[in-house]
Structure 1
Amino acid sequence: MATASLAPNNELKQVMQVKHSQLSRQQAEFETHPPLPGHAVNWLETTRMLAHHQVGAERRLELMLQMRQAVSLEKPALSREQLLLASELAGYLSDWPLLALLCEKLLKTGPDKANNRLAEAEASTANELCIKQSYCLEQMGLYPQALAVLENQLLARPFDPELISTYEYCKSQWQQLPFALTDLQNDPLMLLPLTEQHLENFSWQYADSRIRKLCNLPKFTSNEQWLQWLDGCRQERGIYLFAVMHIEWGFIGSVSLEVYQGVGFFYYWLGSDFQGQGFGPQAVKILLSLAERYFSQDCCYAKVYHHNIPSQKALSKLGFTPLDFPVKAPFDNESFYYLGPDKADWELYRELSWLLQAQDSELELEEKYFDSSV
């Protein structure tokens, strides 16, 4: 399973600007690591053992829940040392919403000057915490909030070069976004273009092998392979990949859209911890709205395995209708769905056949004859 850890505070700006070759050296790996020993999971104990053990994907959500509960308690409140340990684990888990909150709490508490050992070991200055917090907010697509954090710190240190460069970088990232933030968001979800910065988040959720099989996606064995796959998708005209971000939990899955001359095709997947809660259909609604507004999509198709009943129900709720167009073997265990203006069966058959050719898909429809008098 992929794991991840946040880079040291003074390297955060470099992480945000890192290239493919650098990203492949980060700790996120598409492979299985031995879980922590024992059955009980305790976030404090886990944090102290990170140097020697990896955290499996099956324990990630439990740790995230434990830390949120601990942080929310006023009595007993977490000490500064515990907040620092929690921030280390949150960064390791790519839990950006929690890490942003922890940075805010650390900024309010300040270093424990009564504890000389802790004061000397405390490496996070106010600047570094603000930069880390803004980075987390940027990861979530919360650019206005990220800039506000930096602007507030710039009032205290208006000539700090690192703050200025981080602010300018965050501002440029927002300006380069090809969509309005309001068009990407429908609480509690937001879609963001899938980029290199999502490698760690993607790998945490992609640990479930069922996702790869249901979506016919590659079996990623290294960071470099994932980065090459992402780059290849982005080189293809008409293909758009998005990260599905949850305001409380961060990255929870991905949606993909292909549009050819107004005809769309999409798929989506969510991490196993976030399935069955309505997030998939909600993300697709945002996607379809984007497709109509930005990509001139007139209609959309989707496909699903015969045994994937949850996805079939989700498509029906979204307004898609099943098509009675059998697929040739060995893909005859899949079915197509359609959403768009009413069309005759022969028009749908011709359009879907054309779409599969445009996608250079291996799938072919069984030959079907239509009554010309109808």
Structure 2
Amino acid sequence: MVAHPVLSSASPSSAAVARRAAHGHTPSAFDTLMASAWAEMIVSYWDDQHRAGRIDPRAPLDVVDWMPGDGGSARQMIQALVQRVRWRLGFEPRLRYLACVEDAAVAGAWHHEPELCSLLDPGLLVPMLWQPGGGDAPCLLPMGEPRRWASMNPVVVLAHDRFRHLPQRLLATHYGRLLEASPQELMERRDEPEDQRWRPVDENTLTPALRALVQSHVAGLNSAPVCLPVGAIDALAQVAALCPGGYLVLSTARGFANDRGVRLGGFDSVLSTFRRDRLLPTDFALLGAHLAGQQALAWHRAVGEAEVVQAVAGGAGSSRAALERWVAPLARGDCGDGAALARVMRCALRDSGASAGLVVLRRAQHDPRVFAAACPDLHLRWLGRGGVDREAWAEALRCVWGQHLPSPHGPPLFRDVALSAMRIAEWGFARRVWLRGLAVHGRTAPDLAQLAWCESCSGDLASAVRHVAEALAILPADPLALDVQRRLHERLAAWDTAEDGWLRCIARDPGGLVLEPLDSSHAPALGHQFRDPQIAVMSGFDPIDATCNAAQWVDARRLEASRIDYAVMHAEHGFVGHTGLYQWARAGFFYFWIGVDFQGRGFAVQAGRMLCRHALAHGVDCLITTVYVDNTRSMRALMRIGFRRMPVRRPSDKEGLHYMALKAPGVEVDELAVLIDYNRREEQPVDFEPDPDAAINEGGTA
């Protein structure tokens, strides 16, 4: 069941408000591919420093994030680093990820977010106060009093696109003249002559170093803009002063990688960027030229679409050869492919279907934004079809969700993830995604109706009824909630209300199973799990094929009043199998099968024990069943349920069968008489005779 997303109108929590305040400093050009490339580079840097004896393993290895946003990018980076640190470094480091926040309120709000708490509690993620380029000393904000930060080990700083948010001056060289203007005034006074909007640079406002830098930089330019990153220069000087053990600074932002980019982009490029973002692009070539005179090394290249990635290294152990080695993951250039892969995803899904979309998603390392580009087409048209690799998509969806931090001001990705999971019967995962999304984005009628359907498909109709009631209380006319309510009422109306009735739910056992009366709602899942032809062969049931689909199969069984059929439902997986009884007088014939995707997990034994226990407690004195001689797996399962082999055989059997019986404790029953009675009712031969080779196996293995 699929509904179009409806945005929440619920009031955000105080934690949500704090996270919204931080959203303004969320890195714009950061995704899973960039996190992966940066993590590879950082670990390579640490590995070299450790081999050179410049790392004290007893002290923390600090990664300072100047733009962690609402914590989502910080979580992505931590995951990427942890995955690589464990196998790459020759020691177990004390990794400490220092996320710069606006104030203590934001840091406190993070402790209310489950995804961040698991990182905060062990001290892996530590909030920090640091205004790059500012005068205040950085300090840590762990639980308790703030304390000043210092690190003797080499430090990694993730600047992201913070340089664009720091002060910049817009200069221009125009045939030997050096001019300056306010980009805001250029926008507001665009109809005035250029000589009234640009003024000569007051050289007294430039330090000698900056004056020499600008003059050297513009020497090869005739008429071009110069974005002077004065804030970035001050911030990098602060990093050098605070990190005596060495440092590595990584940044990525919209900007220029070389003079050619400046000349080709020109003034139009600078002003269009400012018009869109109210920020100037960063001239990384100019910044690199400045660093060359400050005993620091810089490397940068263009990636993606008008983005530049830069690495700056300084302090002990830094050399041009080492830097070239460290930046190898960035030099490939694929770290900026995220936006292009999102477009490729849409085309691949449209032209080639879910399998091609899965390839693109893997190439994007399960980036949430690339996944979002596939929706809603992915779960509306593709997932749930025959031939879709459900197991691979289940793994992919978990990877996507694991890299996404739900945020009230961010896109409601939880809907697309949960709906996709429901289409491939990953009910438990879908339930958790719905619940987390509802907690963050607010409770809406369509979302609650989807959650109700998810619960109903995994055996928890009581919760389903509660959720749909809440949905209709919010929006009484919601069509999806009304449809789910109708379906639930139709199912429940067919159940017995008496405690001793057979057509009722048999409560969930500790293993997560529940047995509920089989009906047409189970047909799609039943047909999928019955797709192995051997299930029909070994269980003796009619096959489900082109002449008899799953719904017809279920309806045909429901017409036989003496048969009591149950769907075996699992809280995580939904429908996993089928069990039931042919019941007469005080006896019954037991049968079961487990779906092709869930065999070998013990579900047959759990479900069989539940049904047999229920039957023996409600008037059945003896249960019988049969199993093919070569079906050793089912034989073991039956013996673990409690069945024992009867010492009889039937010469008329074309294939070898074992006859099994389970009797109620303390009840005297002639099990052979029950077996003969059943065969007469089924119009089967009753030429039973003693089996001299029968040996009742009292054991059985898992």
TM, length-normalised to structure 1: 0.72
Pick the aligned partner of 1:96 from 427, 430, 439. Answer: 427
Which of 672, 677, 682 is the aligned partner of 1:354?
Answer: 677
Equivalent residue, structure 1, for 2:598:
274
1:107 corresponds to which residue? 438
1:147 counterpart residue number: 465
Aligned to 1:60: 390
Deviation sequence 1:299-328 (CA, Å, 0-9, x none): 101111111111111121222111122233
SS of aligned partner of 1:148: helix
Aligned to 1:14: none
Kindly provide the CA deviation profile for residues 21-62 of structure 1, in whole angstroms up to 9, marking residues without a partner as x: xxxxxxxxxxxxx99469969585997667468755683234
State how 1:40-189 maps to structure 2 within 5 Å: 44=371, 51=381, 59-71=389-401, 73=402, 80=411, 82-110=413-441, 126-157=444-475, 159-160=476-477, 162=479, 163=481, 167=485, 170=488, 173-174=491-492, 176-178=494-496, 183-187=506-510, 188-189=512-513
The residue type paired with residue 151 of structure 1 is A
138-147 or 57-66: bigger deviation: 57-66
Q: Matches of 1:82 and 1:204 in 2, distance apart?
A: 28
Q: Percent identity?
A: 19
Give per-residue Cα distances to partners, 1:182-232, cap 9 Å, x unaligned: 743213100011110111111221122221111112221248643333222
In structure 2, relative to structure 1, the CA distance for the partners of 1:82 and 1:164 (3 Å cut) is closer
Partner SS, residue 542 of structure 2: coil
1:331 aligns with 2:654: yes
Cα offset for 1:235?
1.8
1:219-298 to structure 2, matched below 5 A, reads 219-222=543-546, 225-294=549-618, 296-298=619-621
The question of whether the paired residues in 1 share the 8 Å contact of 2:650 and 2:687 is answered with yes
Q: Distance in 1 between matches of 2:384 and 2:356?
A: 10
Match of 2:638 in 1: 315
Asked if the contact 1:189–1:247 (Cα under 8 Å) also holds between the matched residues in 2, the reply is: yes
Q: Structure 1's 108 and 230: CA in aligned 2 closer, same or farther, altered over 3 A?
A: same
Whether the aligned pair in 2 keeps the contact of 1:57 and 1:207 (CA below 8 Å) is: no
Q: Is this contact kept in 2: 1:260–1:358, CA < 8 A?
A: no
Residue 300 of structure 1, aligned match among 620, 623, 628? 623
Instruction: Determine if contact 2:354/2:388 at 8 Å carries over to the other structure.
Output: no
CA contact (8 A) 2:645 2:660 kept: yes
2:456 alignment partner AA: E
Structure 1 counterpart of 2:580, which letter? S
The CA deviation at 1:339 is 0.8
CA distance in 2, matches of 1:234, 1:312: 27
Q: Which residue identity is paired with 2:459?
A: G
Structure holding more strand per residue: 2
Contact 1:96–1:139 under 8 Å retained in 2: yes
Q: Quickly say closer, same or farther: Cα 1:223–1:248, change in 2 above 3 A.
A: farther
Specify the code of the residue in structure 1 equivalent to 2:431.
A
Higher helix share: 1
CA distance in 2, matches of 1:97, 1:197: 18
Deviates most, 302-311 or 80-89: 80-89
Distance 1:65 1:264 in 2: 42
1:365 Cα deviation after fit? 4.0
CA separation of 1:186/1:46 partners in 2, compared to 1, >3 Å: closer, same or farther? farther
Instruction: From the superposition, tell whether residues 164 and 7 of structure 1 become closer, same or farther in structure 2 (CA, over 3 Å).
Output: closer
Instruction: Using the TM superposition, name which of 239-248 and 335-344 deviates more.
Output: 335-344
The answer to whether the 8 A contact 2:459-2:574 is kept is no
Aligned-partner residue type, residue 349 of structure 1: L
**Structure 2 residues not aligned, in runs of 5+:** 6-352, 693-702
**Higher radius of gyration, 1 or 2:** 2
Change (3 A) 1:144 1:74: farther
Higher relative contact order (CA 8 A, sep 6+): 1
Greater CA drift, 328-337 or 206-215: 328-337
Tell me how far apart the structure 2 counterparts of residues 189 and 327 of structure 1 sit (CA, whole Å).
36
Note if contact 2:583-2:589 (Cα within 8 Å) is conserved in structure 1: yes
Answer with 36-45 or 237-246: which moved more: 36-45
Query: In 2, are the aligned partners of 1:298 and 1:340 still within 8 Å (CA)?
Result: yes
In structure 1, give the amino acid aligned to 2:661.
Answer: Y
d(CA) in 2 for partners of 1:153, 1:52 = 28
TM-score (norm 2): 0.41
Asked if structure 1 preserves the Cα contact closer than 8 Å seen for 2:531 and 2:596, the reply is no
- Give the secondary structure class of the aligned counterpart of 1:243: strand
Change (3 A) 1:100 1:63: same
Check whether the contact 2:445–2:470 (CA below 8 A) recurs between aligned residues.
no
- 2: CA distance between counterparts of 1:293 and 1:343? 12
Aligned pair 1:193/2:517, yes or no?
yes
Give the equivalent residue in structure 2 for 1:17.
none
In 2, the alpha carbon distance for the partners of 1:52 and 1:356 equals 47
Give the Cα separation in 1 of the matches to 2:691 and 2:599.
39
Matched residue type, 1:134: A
Cα offsets for 1:325-362 (capped at 9, x unmatched) = 223345332111111158999x433321211121334x
CA contact (8 A) 2:422 2:454 kept: no
SS in 2 for 1:237: coil
Residues 263 and 90 (structure 1), Cα distance of their counterparts in 2 relative to 1, 3 Å cut: same
Q: Secondary structure at the match of 1:259?
A: strand
CA distance in 2, matches of 1:197, 1:168: 12
Aligned match of 2:38: none
Alignment partner of 1:185: what SS?
Answer: coil
**Inter-CA distance 349–282: structure 2 relative to 1 (3 Å threshold):** same
Query: 2:169 aligns to what?
Result: none
Figure out how many residues of one structure are paired with residues of the other and give that number. Answer: 324
Secondary structure in structure 2 of the residue aligned to 1:257 = strand
Q: Secondary structure at the match of 1:273?
A: coil
What's the offset of the Cα at 1:83? 3.0
Q: 1:174 and 1:9, CA in 2 relative to 1: closer, same or farther beyond 3 A?
A: farther
Q: Distance in 2 between matches of 1:191 and 1:329?
A: 35
